[in-house]
Amino acid sequence: MSVQQAFDKGARDYDSARKQLIPCFDDFYGTALALINRPQSDSFQVLDLGAGTGLFTSLVAQHYPNASFTLCDISSAMLSEAKNRFKHSAFTIDYQTKDYSAEPLVGKYDLIISALSIHHLDAQAKAALFQNIYHALNEGGQFINADQVLGETAQLETSYRNAWLKQVKEKGVTANALSAALERMKEDKMSTLSQQLQWMKDAQFQQVNCWYKNYSFVVFSGDKSLVIADKK
């Protein structure tokens, strides 16, 4: 089963178990939101990569009602759920059904966000995507990624997986929701945090940093610095 097929299949029920399957949900998304370095009244362009049902976008929109959003996802079924989520919303929103790892990122953005999506790409594709994200940002723009990472050693990865299984069961996840999540996870192509921070730096991002980590759940970001012209 491909990534697209896995998410098409689970689109309708995807949001129902989010807080069980992401045990650190509030801190995870809360950190990502807190990193956005703009006044709440600002008007700016946001691209959400692997937007799915629009969960991350919805959280950003609550804090930045004047922002305009582009939601990009490989799964048309997931984006259909996003359209339903936002059908009564007043803010500007555009939808792109495409594989962002294989097609150009169209447009220029002030903020590019992603949540629990990029870990589906292999190492080479992640590194290339970070380059593409950098070039799609306006000067002074920002990239924030809330995702899952591979443990730096096999022992750590086992610890991450065991801790996650324990936590989601304690949160009351249903057997069906857990089974669906484990099926989707077969398509994961995880990379370590240290690798990804280095790829960000290689892509010329500045202020690269991991701001939050809870076992495999991380939030990291980088900035595209303003170019200041020399005055002669």
Predicted confidence band at 90 (pLDDT cuts at 50, 70, 90)? confident
Note whether 212 and 31 are within 8 A (CB).
yes
State the residue for tokens 């969960």. Answer: 55
At residue 41, the 3 state secondary structure works out as: coil
Which of the four pLDDT bands, split at 50, 70 and 90, describes residue 94?
very high
Task: Identify whether 41 is part of a domain.
Answer: yes
Is residue 231 in some structural domain? no
Least confident of 134-138, 141-145, 157-161, 182-186: 182-186
Contact between 129 and 100 under an 8 Å Cβ cutoff? The reply is yes
Q: Is residue 150 part of a domain?
A: yes
Give the single-character DSSP code of 14: G
Tell me, yes or no, whether 230 lies in a domain. no
CB 161 within 8 A of CB 202: no
Q: The CATH number of the domain where 43 resides is what?
A: 3.40.50.150
Q: What pLDDT is recorded for position 8?
A: 43
Structural domain contains residue 111: yes
Place of tokens 């801790």: 163
Q: What is the pLDDT of residue 15?
A: 64
Q: Is the pLDDT of residue 83 over 50?
A: yes
Check residue 35 and give its pLDDT: 98
Report the pLDDT averaged over residues 175-185. Answer: 90
Name the band, by pLDDT with cuts 50, 70 and 90, for residue 18: confident
H-run or E-run covering 153:
none
pLDDT value for 225 = 86
Quote the percentage of the chain above a pLDDT of 90.
Answer: 83
E strands of 41-164, at which residues? 45-49, 68-73, 93-97, 109-115, 137-148
With respect to residue 232, please indicate whether it lies within any of the assigned structural domains. Answer: no
Q: Is residue 79 part of a domain?
A: yes
Residue 123 lies in a domain: yes
pLDDT band at 171 (very low <50, low <70, confident <90, very high): very high
For residue range 122-155, list pLDDT tens digits in order.
Answer: 999 999 999 999 999 999 999 999 999 999 999 9
What does the angle CA 89 – CA 24 – CA 47 come to, to the nearest 5 degrees?
40
Q: Is residue 213 helix, strand or coil?
A: strand
Q: Above 80 in pLDDT, residue 12?
A: no
**Which strands form 68-73's sheet, in the order they lie side by side?**
93-97, 68-73, 45-49, 109-115, 137-148, 217-223, 206-214
Range of the structural domain that residue 86 is part of = 3-223
* pLDDT category of residue 1 using cuts at 50, 70 and 90: very low
Higher-confidence residue: 189 or 230? 189
Residue 194 above 70 pLDDT? yes
**Domain count along the chain:** 1
Amino acid at position 56, single letter: F
CB distance 128 to 102 below 8 Å:
no
Q: Which pTM value belongs to this model?
A: 0.91
Contact 54, 29 (CB under 8 A): no
Q: Look at residue 7 in the predicted model and tell me its pLDDT.
A: 47
pLDDT value of position 91: 86
Can you give the pLDDT at residue 110? 98
Mean pLDDT of the chain: 91
